[in-house]
A and B are shown apart, each in its own frame.
Chain A
């Protein structure tokens, strides 16, 4: 479903993503793991068509993201990092706007908004403006936006960031459920999350894939069978000086 080949993204002399290749099929939940600034968000921004890649190729459902972006973007639901939303809109207005841009009209749009609201438990804040929402609700509003057109591909950048433990649990459950029929790629730096929700893990460090496999396979690499030991062994802490790789914010 998603095919990524030799993906490179350079910001000036800095290589934020350096030769990343992988593919994901329907029914898989792929976890992107990595320290801050490893290139997780940049990779996701390229897959969703926000950043054009410096080189390499991305196809989503057979559509090339660079050559045929509209067809590729239609298949994707995307939750960007920090869950942005139009501050002055109500949750209801915002979801309707997103549904309309997804080409949903009339009754189909009403049903889609209703379904997304139910999935993300937004009934209580439906007519509240987004800038008055708590972080958890704001996050779920943006998540609802990504689900509104029932996409085949879900790309979620830190979907549980800023949620309380109950909400985290719910979102993980949701990701797992959705992953049965869709392709889900999500990034995180919380290791338990990976074990709880992923069928496959890719660990990225300084723009490169340093490990990939099922959570069980990765755990087997450590003598005690702990994922965080594997993680620490193969990624460098960002306090270590390295010359080219820094968090890149554009």
Chain B
């Protein structure tokens, strides 16, 4: 219970940190504006004449590509810049409690942003008769996707005290996670690589695993994929934080 109390304390502080600065409000407004724009204008929500949120969820991997690293880039780099990392890690807390606490705070914040998109779900229910199970699965998938990107940002922010570098590295890694399974890229790859290789590369992509959720399928393999990306990235974060001090 003691470790959970530490995680909760760190999480509370981190989450409050978003709201005491303008970051939270800027982020939420931009996130909601962009999801609206992509869903209704570019995604042709109304013209499709479908009672589904496909035009909403399709854009999430691309939207998150920039927004999630923006929310996560400060996690550790800010701590290093201010020198508070020294304070935090000389408290009676373990590295992983600090890492998990910070990660959960940001994830909760992203979950809040995602929850605030509820008007689209209401809209689609008002105009038609959608399968709400599929919508729910879509939301779960979107949250897992955000968590994976966030874990990547968490790792890159542990590498540097410079938030800009942290942001760019994180976008690059997330872009790789998208492109590995993006149809134009897999088509290109299949021209000179065997189907097995293409499948292996595509298996690393968030796209392959995100599609299942959009169809309303909660496949344990997809959930396991996202969970293991998160787990692995946070583990690497821990290694980086430990090694920095080892000299």
Contacts and interface: CB of A to CB of B under 8 A. Distances in A.
A48 interface: yes
Chain B facing A: main interface SS:
helix
Interface in A1-52: 9-12, 16, 45, 48-52
Interface string B75-101: 000000011101101111110000000
Given A51-B245, A52-B246, A101 B90 contact: no
B247 A102 contact: no
Contacts of A51: 245-247
Contact of B82 (A10, A87, A103, A250): A87
Given A93-B16, A103-B2, A73 B90 contact: yes
Nearest to B6: A101
Interface in B1-17: 2, 5-6, 9-10, 13, 16-17
A45 B92 contact: no
B87 A84 contact: yes
Contacts, number: 81
Given A51-B247, A54-B247, A88 B91 contact: no
A80 B92 CA distance: 15
A102 B6 CA distance: 9
Contacts of A121: none
Q: Specify which of B84, B89, B93, B247 lies most central, judged by the most chain A CB atoms within 10 Å of its CB.
A: B247
B247 A70 contact: no
A78 B89 CA distance: 11
Interface in A92-110: 93, 97-98, 100-103
A88 B24 CA distance: 13
A129 B16 CA distance: 13
Given A52-B246, A88-B20, A102 B92 contact: yes
A136 interface: no
B21 interface: yes
A129 B92 CA distance: 25
A73 B89 CA distance: 10
Given A89-B20, A98-B91, A102-B91, A9 B247 contact: yes
A70 B3 CA distance: 11
A97 B6 CA distance: 10
Given A85-B87, A86-B13, A102-B91, 6 more contacts: A50-B90, A73-B92, A78-B87, A80-B90, A100-B5, A103-B2
Q: Which 7 A-B pairs have the closest CB atoms?
A: A84-B83, A11-B247, A73-B92, A48-B90, A100-B9, A101-B91, A80-B86
Interface of A: 9-12, 16, 45, 48-52, 54, 69-71, 73-74, 76, 78, 80-82, 84-89, 93, 97-98, 100-103, 129, 142, 145, 250
22 contacts: A10-B247, A16-B247, A50-B245, A51-B245, A52-B245, A54-B247, A70-B94, A71-B92, A76-B90, A78-B90, A84-B83, A85-B82, A85-B84, A85-B87, A86-B17, A88-B20, A93-B16, A100-B5, A100-B9, A101-B93, A102-B92, A250-B245
